Amino acid sequence: MIKIYLFSVFSFAALVKSDWTGSGVLECYGHVNVDASFPAGAGNAGPGSVTCNPVEWDYDTGLGPEAMFFHPNSGESFEIWAWDYHGSIPSASCTGELWYKEEDMGAGFCTPNKGYNGCGIVYCTGEIVCDGC
């Protein structure tokens, strides 16, 4: 009986928090850390890496909701929106070919974070790891 109970507890814990890895496209809209040897902008793309760390959405701050969109080479696409989480928000990293912009292009998720330069839009095609997905 105890073995069945422990199995149930561990099975439930595995459902609560799981990680995802795969290859495909990761789109980040929000707080990011980009490591690339080329500048941001429409005409620039190349090899690099990105870590996406969405910040919890709070309507009162004026901060727009941040999000991550996953388009795996195999399997269903899925999304993570910061407004769906309180506390621990999943984060993701991608290494491959990327394009990035160091602003939100008017969408509002990088404001009012004045003084923080790690916010923007990133598209990365490569190997993706999502912690907490």
Token pair of 86, please?
A: 């309180």
Which residue reads 């388009």 in tokens? 71
- Looking at the chain, the whole-number percentage of residues with pLDDT higher than 90 is 50
Q: Is the pLDDT of residue 85 over 60?
A: yes
Q: Which pLDDT does position 17 carry in this prediction?
A: 53
Which of 15-19, 40-44, 58-62, 94-98 bottoms out in mean pLDDT, i.e. has the lowest? 15-19
Mean pLDDT of 84-101: 92
Q: Which pLDDT does position 22 carry in this prediction?
A: 96
Token pair of 115, please?
A: 């003084």
Domain range summary for the chain, segments of one domain joined by +: 17-131
Contact 98, 123 (CB under 8 A): yes
Q: Which pLDDT does position 16 carry in this prediction?
A: 46
Q: Which pLDDT does position 9 carry in this prediction?
A: 36
Token pair of 62, please?
A: 């004026």
Contact 90, 68 (CB under 8 A): yes
Mean pLDDT of 60-84: 90
Confidence of residue 27 (pLDDT cuts 50, 70, 90): very high
The winner for highest mean pLDDT among 13-17, 33-37, 127-131 is 127-131
Mean pLDDT of the chain: 82
Contacts of 49 (CB under 8 A, 6+ apart): 34, 35, 36, 93, 94, 95, 96, 98, 124
Q: Is the pLDDT of residue 15 over 60?
A: no
